[in-house]
A and B are shown apart, each in its own frame.
Chain A
Amino acid sequence: MQLRRWEPTVLPLLTALAVLAVWEIGVRVSGTKVFPSPAEVGRGLEELLRKGLLWRYTADSLLRVGSGYLLAILVGIPLGLALGWYPLAARAANPLIQMLRPISPLAWIPVAIVLFGVGNESAVFLIFLASFFPILVSTMTGVRGVPPMFRLAGANFGLSIAALLRRVVFPAALPHMIVGLRIALGIAWLVVVAAEMIAVDSGLGYLVIDSRNAGKRYDLVIAGMILIGLIGLGLDIGMRRLERLKSVRWGFLND
């Protein structure tokens, strides 16, 4: 079906309006004194903006995600390339990876606190852990899926193993890896919010939990939730853009 130009933006906006309407009606009909109306949440957002908290908390959360995610990329991609390249190493490491992977990053919170104390480092460590495994595993499987012909063609031109990994194996595996990178960023964002509820005193996760604890400001709780959702959406849209770069799009053409 051919989409008209306005449909991709207008249709989701209509959905959002409908949800706002149901929310407003729900608040009025039930006569709740606790749950805020859309207008109250809007005023809450405005208050955050006025106090300068909105940008500061958003920036703090993004910085934590950015650091942990970048670390995960710096460790996960080279390790994944190596494990994908040497089947024996992969066989040795795989059971451990598969065992650690299903452990929720939140279960690591006590360990993180023991290792790094209560604070920023712990939150970054949790994000690192959460995004590390999807990046590692997608890099490994991506490398193993590289057609042998590409490796042979690369080796034919006299490349060293390091150059072969960088110039052939990495770009050949990249379309597969990008899917893992996107999933990893989504999980990282989920985890930063959870981590901030425990370990730090700034950020959007902290905003949600602190607004409830200090004064039952449910308008700010909902405002924080909406911000978290919108930023998550923005991150995902950004990652999808990457998939359309020409140097990786070939990997998605026939999917």
Chain B
Amino acid sequence: MTPPSRTTARETKLRVQGVNKVFTRDGKSVNVLEDIDLEIRDGEFVCLLGPSGCGKSTLLNIVAGFTPPTSGQVYIDGEPVTGPDPRRIFVFQERGVFPWLTVEGNIGFGLFRLPPKEKARRIAHYVKLVGLSGFEQAYPAELSGGMKQRLEVARALAVNPDMLFLDEPFGALDSITRLLMRSELLRIWEAEKKTILFVTHDIEESVQLADRVVVMSARPAKIQRVVEIDIPHPRDISSPRYLKLRDGIFEEIGLAHKV
């Protein structure tokens, strides 16, 4: 038996109920998501894993309120989602930072309701948290890919959302930076107690990060299996348990883990 995850006792944060998505293009309709049901508990880190083009981004966009589902409903804190909301921020790949604003300007972007003093304090806090000290006045064009990614995460965290949606946030980074960013994200997640829904098509990444990995099948995407990753952080990625879970997912997707 696997020991219970430390999040099992928490209440439901997000519920996806019978969500379908059909796109029509050139008169043909494509069924992208089929009957998706998913529950995420408060404070949980969930990875959506699936082959390219299966509909992960589509699902994330629906959950974030950017696109309406064709049928079905998404509930957050028991309320139906009808549009984007600053309580839950979508992090694009680093391309989502605003190139016309400095690091400070980007991080402070969502803080327009705060008095200037509080705003400055928050900006300073998050500049430090994501390790961009000394770059406050720099523009994104002067930053590396990893720095831009951290900047976008800082901009999201600064408005103190209770959920983060990340769509392959580290996909464009080199493998060393990607590893560093993963541990930074985990550090921030543990410090700030956010609920995180993280899209990836990297199996290793999902097993390193998530409390649960939601494996999606190819189009029309269904939830094929949900794998509980019951290893405490920091995770030893050569432990038998890690390897077993990882290989289980490789098998689930139908890949022999050999090159």
Contacts and interface: CB of A to CB of B under 8 A. Distances in A.
A160 to B, nearest CB: 11
A149 B110 contact: no
B220 interface: no
A60 B208 CA distance: 70
B30 interface: no
B141 interface: yes
Contact of B84 (A147, A152, A163, A168): A152
Given A152-B66, A155-B84, A250-B139, A171 B98 contact: yes
B110 A152 contact: no
Contacts of B66: 152
Interface stretch (A112-120, A197-205, A241-249): A241-249
Given A149-B95, A149-B96, A250-B99, A156 B139 contact: no
A250 B110 CA distance: 22
A157 B140 contact: no
A55 interface: no
Given A153-B92, A156-B90, A171-B100, A250 B84 contact: no
B109 interface: yes
A174 B100 contact: yes
Contacts of A149: 92, 95-96
Contact of A250 (B86, B100, B159): B100
Contacts of B86: 156-158
A214 interface: no
B252 interface: no
Contacts of B84: 152, 155-156, 158
B259 to A, nearest CB: 34
Contact of B110 (A158, A172, A174, A251): A158
B90 A152 contact: yes
B85 interface: yes
B92 A158 contact: no
Interface in A168-184: 168, 171-172, 174
Given A158-B85, A249-B141, A250-B139, A153 B96 contact: yes
Contacts of B98: 150, 153, 168, 171-172
A29 interface: no
A156 B64 contact: yes
B229 interface: no
B89 interface: yes
Interface residues of B, number: 22
Nearest to B64: A156
A156 B152 CA distance: 13
A176 to B, nearest CB: 12
A158 B92 CA distance: 17
A6 B109 CA distance: 43
Nearest to A147: B95
Nearest to B89: A156
Contacts of B99: 250-251
Interface in A8-27: none
| Among B98, B99, B100, B139, residue most surrounded by chain A Cβ atoms (within 10 Å) | B100
Contacts of A248: 100
A251 B100 CA distance: 9
| Among A158, A163, A248, A251, residue most surrounded by chain B Cβ atoms (within 10 Å) | A158
A253 interface: yes
A246 B102 CA distance: 9
Contacts of B95: 147, 149
A156 B86 CA distance: 6
Contacts of B109: 157, 167
Contacts of A247: 100-101, 139
A251 B84 CA distance: 27
A157 B110 contact: yes
Interface string B74-117: 00000000011110011010011011110000000110100000
A174 B98 CA distance: 13
24 contacts: A147-B95, A150-B96, A153-B90, A153-B92, A153-B98, A155-B83, A155-B84, A156-B86, A156-B89, A157-B86, A157-B89, A157-B110, A157-B159, A158-B85, A158-B86, A163-B112, A167-B109, A171-B98, A171-B101, A174-B100, A247-B101, A247-B139, A248-B100, A251-B99
Please give me the 9 A-B residue pairs with the lowest Cβ-Cβ distance, nearest first: A157-B110, A250-B99, A158-B86, A171-B100, A156-B84, A247-B100, A153-B96, A250-B141, A155-B84
Given A153-B92, A171-B100, 17 more contacts: A147-B95, A150-B96, A152-B66, A152-B84, A152-B92, A155-B84, A156-B84, A156-B89, A157-B86, A158-B85, A158-B86, A168-B98, A172-B98, A246-B139, A247-B139, A250-B139, A251-B99
